[in-house]
Structure 1
């Protein structure tokens, strides 16, 4: 699961908490928080973990082009990158990658490393965490509705299917299954199998494309520092604009 998109929702909740305090309420009494009543230790740990996911995504985002230029296996280990999988697959086609399967396993484990947190959130707060994710925007609400329908209709298989359906927020499915009391080991097993098959598709794609895919990756690597700087600037500009918009509201 990609993590960068979560920072906006987390920042928004923090601002809302500050507004609640200004009105004489405790921050946790804000009705837009996922819990009902005063949060316990587990609630605070889980909410903190979700916040850290967003921070991790922001910190690692500008590092991705650099890691790709250094070693696709490093990028695969950090965030399970699809581009790293394509690069490794292209190397297999060119006869230079005997350990491709290690990269695929690393990427599969990395890309699911935070998924259990949303399973936990669903177990703790039920539909409350789904409302938090869906409340970020109209687009988020629309896609969240589709994700919840998918999970409600298919149950456990939805955890596998969500890896292959674009624009569906997988965190909604994870939270739904947590709320449905799916066992954690079952969740992790199905999630890993879905991630493994998904990463395998990208490796195969790189293998089929071959040298042209390698040329594109090499071009990204060549300008990796410039891309990273542009991403850092974009993060700061986006954060500043969001803060100004929230202050005006």
Structure 2
């Protein structure tokens, strides 16, 4: 039986949408923003190799690890300013994180279900994620880039467990700063070779970008074919 007393078929499937009933304007905006963020990052994938010639732009647009490593090498040889590199890196790293926090805050457990997807162990994973976030949520956000759980799940769980936005943003900034320090430090340790490698990749960026597009389409076709063959 449903909440309003109507009979529900035994084979009824849960709604794939994270909200109950009719979508409110905020639901539509949030879902649209999340989809747009994914398309934005997907569109930047084939452009990344070419943009290595302009690492400041690359890092600002997507918080690229390769861009930060390149900038670290440029700092080492005196071609970049460390404070400026850090300042440019933070917005690119945190650009869309608040959207996933908001999704968890607004949709609760349903947001986690959407991000985990239709997996046999989805229920257990969601329960484990909730327990960990309620107990160690602050630490999970700080080390988000250093552990195997997808960041979007951690951010959504932070909203789901009612973490305040200001606290989430502070912790997210600390975690992003640790990752930025690692990437820049790696580039600084490599030095000139990191810059030379980036220039070489950028020189053939068009071909690498086209190759990435082909790989993405082939993978999507393969996944779609496997799903179509399932009973």
TM-score, normalisation: structure 2 = 0.83
Do the aligned partners of residues 217 and 123 (structure 1) sit closer, same or farther apart at CA in structure 2, a change above 3 Å counting? Answer: same
Task: Report the counterpart of residue 22 of structure 2 in structure 1.
Answer: 38
Which secondary structure state, in structure 2, belongs to the residue aligned with residue 155 of structure 1? helix
Q: What is the match of residue 188 of structure 1?
A: 169
Q: CA deviation at 1:119?
A: 0.7
8 Å contact from structure 1 (residues 119, 176) kept in 2: yes
Say if 2:59 and 2:89, in contact at 8 Å, map to a contact too.
yes
TM-superposed deviation, 1:230: 0.4
Alignment check: 8 A CA contact 1:91 1:210 kept: yes
- Asked whether the 8 Å contact 1:90–1:214 carries over to 2, the reply is yes
Q: Alpha carbons of 1:200 and 1:175: their partners in 2 closer, same or farther (altered >3 Å)?
A: same
1:139 Cα deviation (Å)? 9.2
2:205 pairs with 1:224: yes
* Shift of residue 145, structure 1, vs aligned partner: 6.9
DSSP-derived class of the 1:33 partner: coil
TM superposition shift of 1:90 = 1.1
CA contact (8 A) 2:129 2:157 kept: no
Q: Rg bigger for which structure?
A: 2
Match of 1:17 in 2: none
When normalised by structure 1's length, the TM-score is 0.78
Higher helix residue share = 1
Query: How far did residue 30 of structure 1 move?
Result: 5.4
Structure 1 residues not aligned, in runs of 5+:
1-28
Gapped regions of structure 2 (runs ≥ 5): 1-12
Q: Which has the higher contact order (CA 8 A, sep 6+)?
A: 2
- The answer (yes or no) to whether the contact 2:130–2:161 under 8 Å persists in 1 is no
Q: Choose the corresponding residue for 1:171, options 126, 149, 152.
A: 152
Task: Identify the range of structure 1 (59-68 vs 139-148) with the bigger mean alpha-carbon deviation.
Answer: 139-148
Give me the whole-angstrom Cα distance separating, in 2, the residues matched to 1:33 and 1:125.
10
State which drifts further: 77-86 or 142-151: 142-151
Q: Which residue of 2 aligns with 1:239?
A: 220
Supply the distance in 2 between the matched residues of 1:147 and 1:227 (Cα, whole angstroms). 37
TM superposition shift of 1:182? 1.8
Q: Is 1:143–1:168's contact at 8 Å kept on the other side of the alignment?
A: no
Pair 1:113 & 2:95 matched: yes
| C-alpha distance in structure 1 between counterparts of 2:106 and 2:56, whole Å | 35
Distance 1:92 1:63, change over 3 A: same
